[in-house]
């Protein structure tokens, strides 16, 4: 029996690349997203190309009932999930106070609560089996101070580091991926104007996922793809926080990494 990987937000961008590359490695898939048609198209593509099974699970992770259904699938002892990839997410072009609080709550539920619930289900099940991998897609935005999206990604990074420490020595690996600006549908969906961003700051989703999988194989807990972003994140550990807040406040909220 092949090991299996459950990927949220699996129909586009970074999530799709995780699904493709894990299938390439021989993992069966459980693909989670809101759009059934797109899920079934991805499932058909990957099962045909790589000879793996690809299960479709339609769910909106902001809906608590649907999230619990995904968590139950993660924890199912009869159909073990060996990899959990917490990738689903979205951003918003407006600033925190310009958005309706309901929209902010929905983003919080997807970026934070869903990661917590699914990682709890996976962590317990994997620890009991003595093996497994949990990957959460965060962002370099979590190292700065650019509104609620940035705060949510900071939570995801710190949460993953804490979970990695809790599961150390159990056979369960935990890695948090912190990409910068990445060519995906993310910014288009959020109606963010990215035309003035220098080409040097853009990452390729295919390559960053390959780099992340290599980091997981090496046992790294925090994966930051791209030389420029490695330098940037390193610098932010020594730059005084008031300076980071000042610079972050001057950056348009339309420019959120992902």
Instruction: Give the active site residue among 149, 159, 181, 229.
Output: 149
CA 163 to chain centre: 15
Whole-number Å distance between alpha carbons of 174 and 181: 23
Most distant CA atoms of the chain, gap in Å: 53
229 tagged catalytic: no
Encoding tokens for residue 221? 């807990």
C-alpha distances in Å from residue 237, one per residue of 38, 49, 163, 231, 242: 40, 43, 21, 10, 13
Of 130, 19, 6, the residue nearest 72 (C-alpha)? 6
Whole-number Å distance between alpha carbons of 190 and 112: 18
Whole-number Å distance between alpha carbons of 150 and 256: 8
Using DSSP, state whether 30 is helix, strand or coil: strand
Q: Among all residues, which ones are annotated catalytic?
A: 149
């Amino acid at each position: 029996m092949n090991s299996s990987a459950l990927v949220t937000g699996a129909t586009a961008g970074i999530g799709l690349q995780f699904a493709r590359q894990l299938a390439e490695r021989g993992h069966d898939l459980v693909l989670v997203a809101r759009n059934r048609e797109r899920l079934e198209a991805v499932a058909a593509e990957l099962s045909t190309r790589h000879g793996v099974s690809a299960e479709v699970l339609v769910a909106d992770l902001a809906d608590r009932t649907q999230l619990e259904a995904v968590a139950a699938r993660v924890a199912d002892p009869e159909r073990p999930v060996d990899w959990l990839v917490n990738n689903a997410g979205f951003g918003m072009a407006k600033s925190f106070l310009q958005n309706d609080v309901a929209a902010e709550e929905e983003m919080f539920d997807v970026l934070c609560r869903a990661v917590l619930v699914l990682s709890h289900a996976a962590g317990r099940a994997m620890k009991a089996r003595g093996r497994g991998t949990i990957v959460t897609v965060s962002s370099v935005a979590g190292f700065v101070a650019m509104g609620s999206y940035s705060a949510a990604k900071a939570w995801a990074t710190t949460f993953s580091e804490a979970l990695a420490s809790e599961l150390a020595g159990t056979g369960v690996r935990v890695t948090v991926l912190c990409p910068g600006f990445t060519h995906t549908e993310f910014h288009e969906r959020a109606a963010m104007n990215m035309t003035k961003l220098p080409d040097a700051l853009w990452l390729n989703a295919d390559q960053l996922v390959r780099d992340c999988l290599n980091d997981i194989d090496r046992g790294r807990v925090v994966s930051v793809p791209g030389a420029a972003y490695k330098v940037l994140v390193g610098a932010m550990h020594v730059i005084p926080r008031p300076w980071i807040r000042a610079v972050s406040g001057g950056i348009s909220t339309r420019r959120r990494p992902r």
